[in-house]
Amino acid sequence: MKAMVTGSPATLETLAFADRPDPGQPGAGEIRVRLHGSSLNYHDLGVVTGRMQGKPNGIALADGGGIVEAVGDGVAEFAVGDAVVSCFFPDWHDGAPTIGDFSRTPGDGIDGYATEAVVVPTTAFTHAPRGYDAVEAATITTAGLTAWRALVGDGGLKAGDVVLLLGTGGVSIWGLQIARAMGATVVITSSSGEKLERARDLGADHVVNYREVEAWGRAVRDWTGGRGVDHVLELGGAGTLANSIEAVRVGGHIALIGTVTGTAGDVPTAALMAKQARLQGLIVGSRRQQQDFVRAIDATGIKPIVDRRFPLDALPEAFRHQQSSAHFGKIGIEW
């Protein structure tokens, strides 16, 4: 069985196919899934380039979409032929977070889904949204669920709220689609005028080019009439947090999702205190939250934005496309 495996040392040049044993047939409480698609995340990029320490010579990619080929004894949730999608935290089923690292995340601490087939416990997958192909389904595992948890699970998003999204990558574009489907107003930032226009076409109500407007947090707050936004999907980290605090309303919610500008830096604590805002870190979500998200997708008909698709044997090229930051939404991998 072919699998795309990280090298030693982990670099895009050493990321390559390797032979792995077929996983065989499922045992009690397990399913065998034939995989057909994935999508790229910056977490994946960190692992395959060695910036993050994953399993040595591990199978890449946290997201996996496919079809159930066989079920083990006692399995009632899935049947042969079901379209399914993986969970980022296969051991976090419900309730409050139970893990603060990636030791059990596919494509990091354990083998991922850049392979032909897997045999796993049923709890490692959920049903895919209706009508989604494998690549589309795989976009919900990490990026989609992160946006869903930030806005709905943790943020309590409701119609009429105002949401600020940073950038036009997978999480932010999913956040745009979720927020618009639920009746919220959306503001989005980018350094690309072309990407901002694409965001407008998807329903963004206001756009800000942060290269042209340095004090974009104040500009966003002014656009709301001085009130501020209800929710911020903060993907930049220390380099953007001051502007996000400036933009949020008193008593609002900032979901700290990414650290694109760095993993440490100054936080304007007095401004955060004055805003009485909730700054909450999060990493993706639970299996139950993913099931809730799938139901919402089925109800609303949201379809993910896939920028470009690459075959599995072109995975290094796909990561280089990701590094260029030229993409809008998600990058798909299919086989």
Enter the pTM of the model.
0.95
Mean pLDDT of the region 48-64? 96
b vs e for 274-313, b when ≥16 Cβ sit within 10 Å of the residue's Cβ? ebebebeeebbbbbebbebbbebbeeeebebbbbebbebe
Q: What is the pLDDT of residues 237-296, one digit of tens each?
A: 888 999 999 999 999 999 999 766 566 777 888 999 999 999 999 999 999 999 999 999
List, in sequence order, the alpha helices (H) in the chain. 42-48, 134-138, 145-148, 170-181, 193-201, 216-223, 238-247, 269-275, 287-300, 315-323
**Interaxial angle between packed helices 170-181 and 287-300, expressed in degrees from 0 to 180 and rounded to the nearest 10:** 60
Please give the pLDDT value at position 111: 98
Alpha-carbon distance of 298 to 231, in angstroms, equals 24
Cβ-in-10-Å burial (0-12, 13-18, 19+) of 250 comes to exposed
What percentage of the chain reaches a pLDDT higher than 90? 95
Same domain, 36 and 133: yes
The HSE-up count of residue 281 (CA atoms within 13 Å, CB side) is 8
161 and 66 within one domain = no
Write the CATH number for 96: 3.90.180.10
pLDDT at residue 155 above 70?
yes
Number of domains the chain is built from: 2
Residues 305 and 205 in one domain: no
Residue 246 belongs to some domain of the structure? yes
118 and 218, same domain (yes or no): no
CATH code, domain carrying 271: 3.40.50.720
Q: Taking a C-beta distance cutoff of 8 angstroms, is the pair 203, 186 a contact?
A: yes
Q: 129 and 259 share a domain? A: no
What's the pLDDT tens digit per position in 186-234?
999 999 999 999 999 999 999 999 999 999 999 999 999 999 999 999 9
Mean pLDDT of the chain: 96
Q: Return the pLDDT at 260.
A: 65
State which of 262, 281, 300 marks the end of a domain: 281
In the three-class reduction of DSSP (H, G, I as helix; E, B as strand; rest coil), residue 137 is classed as helix
Domain assignment present for residue 147? The answer is no
- Could you tell me if 19 and 45 lie in one domain? yes
State the residue range of the domain holding 260: 155-281
Residue 143 has pLDDT above 60, yes or no: yes
The string of pLDDT tens digits covering residues 297-329 is: 999 999 999 999 999 999 999 999 999 999 999
Report if residue 44 sits inside a domain.
yes
Is 56 a member of any domain?
yes
Q: Is residue 320 part of a domain?
A: yes
